[in-house]
Amino acid sequence: MSSDSKAIHQDSADFSAQTPARVSVGRAGTRPKTSTWLKFRVDHALARDAICSELNTEFVEKFAVVNGYPCVQSSVASKDEFIQFPPRGKIVEEKTLDQLKSLCEQGNDVQIVVSDGLSAKAVEKNVANLLPMIVDGLKMNNISCGRPVVVRYGRVAVGDQIAFALKARVVVNLIGERPGLSSAEGLSAYITYNPSPQTISSDRTVVSNIHQRGTPAVEAGAYIVRLVKTILERKVSGVELQKLS
């Protein structure tokens, strides 16, 4: 192997070590190498498992019950229904909202919602480290925060409905993202100013890729607090916030 070829090979190896993406994997004739194919199959299986995952009883008891966080369910009855009928995961029933109104303080600056979304594994892996950072950071900045609410079978918009019912100025929905082949445990925070049933996607500011190989939960928590503070000061989020940046 020439010195130039060795240098190219070394550069490719160094680059591959810095990313979970499938780069410089090589091939055997017209097919991928056996190791590459097996790794793909493993990652694909992990992604499928994450989509089908549900918040386990241990997590709910140790995280929600112990901390006194209400745990509710969207308008769907099962995981299959949640996957097959996405709009039903965007809302909770009126009786659930009435329950939350009786359990949670209303009129706070921020309402945090924790939703399993498309990866309950992401919630179980990251929220225990992420949520305290957000709650403590908001307190340090004199930003009032309501009691966090956990939602089973929840999608992004369910946070808007809950925060609107609790009269919060900003909602932070911490939700398990659709898993990819590089990570099945990615969490995102969808932050919306003045959330309501009329909220649309462009109204939301998103902090994504929160996981061990992306943005660590503790670091993400500090960033989310700074972002919430900016949103409250400027009274906009989403695309409108970007226009002011």
Nearest to 173 by CA among 219, 136, 208, 215: 208
Instruction: Identify the structural domains of the chain with CATH numbers, from first to last.
Output: 52-244 (3.40.50.11240)
Q: Are 149 and 114 in contact (CB under 8 A)?
A: yes
For the chain, give the percent of residues with pLDDT over 90: 62
131: helix, coil or strand?
Answer: helix
Antiparallel, parallel or unpaired: β 170-176 and 204-210 = unpaired
Q: Are 169 and 109 in contact (CB under 8 A)?
A: yes
Q: What's at 50, amino acid-wise? A: A
Identify the band that residue 3 occupies on the pLDDT scale cut at 50, 70 and 90: low
Summarised one tens digit per residue, pLDDT across range 181-202 is: 667 788 999 999 999 989 999 9
- Lowest-confidence region among 130-134, 171-175, 200-204, 212-216: 212-216
Could you give phi then psi for residue 18, rounded to 5 degrees? Answer: -95, -5
pLDDT, the chain, mean:
88
pTM reported for the whole predicted model:
0.85
Q: What is the per-residue DSSP string for 142-162? A: T--BPPPEEEET--HHHHHHH
For residues 75 and 237, what is the distance between their CA atoms, to the nearest angstrom? 27
